Amino acid sequence: MWLTLLSMISGATCYALFLGHTTNLIQSLDSSRRQYREKLKQVEEYMAYRKLPRDIRVRIGDYFEHRYQGKFFNEDTILDELSERLREDVINYNCRALVA
C-alpha cells in the first residue's frame, strides 16, 4: 500500500517536473518575439498617453516594424561572440544575394 502510494507520488512529481521544464523550454524559444511584442505595447501605451495624432502613430509603428522586423536581438553582439572564421561565414551567407 505505502509502496504504491510512494510510486504514484514520485511518478506525478516526475511528470510535473518534465511538463514544467518543457513549458519553460518552449517559452524561451519564443523570447525574441515576446520582447518585440512587449516593446510595441510600451510604444502604443506611450502614444496613447501623449495622445499623438494617427499619422504620427502610423509612422512610429512603421518605424518599429521596419527596425526590428519581428526580431529583437543585437546581431553585432552575437557576431562578436563568434570566432573570426565563423563570423566571416555568417556574414558571407547573409550577403550572398548582394555578391551573386
> Which tens digit of pLDDT belongs to each residue from 23-39?
887 776 677 778 888 88
pTM, to two decimals? 0.48
Q: What is the mean pLDDT of residues 6-34?
A: 83
Q: Using the 8-state DSSP alphabet, how is residue 71 labeled?
A: -
Which residue carries 529583437 as its cell? 72
Alpha helices in 1-100 (DSSP H): 2-29, 31-50, 54-68, 75-80, 84-94, 96-99
Q: What is the mean pLDDT of residues 87-93?
A: 89
58 band by pLDDT with thresholds 50, 70 and 90:
very high
